[in-house]
Amino acid sequence: MRVSTRARYGLRVLVSLVRLGGRGRFVSTRHLARREGVSVKYLERVLGLLRKAGIVETQEGRGGGVRLCRDVGNISVADVVCAVDGKWSVVDCLKEGCPRQGVCPTRQVWRRLNDVAWTTLVETRLSQLL
């Protein structure tokens, strides 16, 4: 069970964005990248995915950057993970198409673990990480 680097950076950058005042004003992408120790190019890819999901908005040019589109209480960790990685599961065999789906003796364990993990991601809000 691994959360991707992209998801971890996405969440960290959102926390930094809020702390830097990015709820109402644009924060420089370069500043965020430097603060989080990630390249601007990589951060722009992550922010592009978050933008497509309606979590942030970007503006180019002087005074531009990135800011949140939604209230911090309305953004869950699951929103961020899904935005950058799609639907995530603790093991690949829980996804559709597993040939052993009907006969696997361990599937129930992985399903319960997956449900607990997703419940945690869905219930944890960005506002709780500040």
26: CATH: 1.10.10.10
Q: What is the extent of the structural domain holding 119? A: 5-129
- With 70 as the cut, is the pLDDT of residue 1 above it? no
- Cβ atoms 20, 67 nearer than 8 A: no
pLDDT digits (tens, 9 = 90+) for 38-96: 999 999 999 999 999 999 999 988 888 999 999 999 999 999 999 999 888 888 888 77
Number of domains in the chain: 1
Q: Answer yes or no: is pLDDT of 21 > 90.
A: no
User: CB count, 10 Å around CB of 55?
Assistant: 23
Indicate the pTM of the whole model. 0.89
Cα 66 to Cα 52: distance, rounded to the nearest angstrom = 13
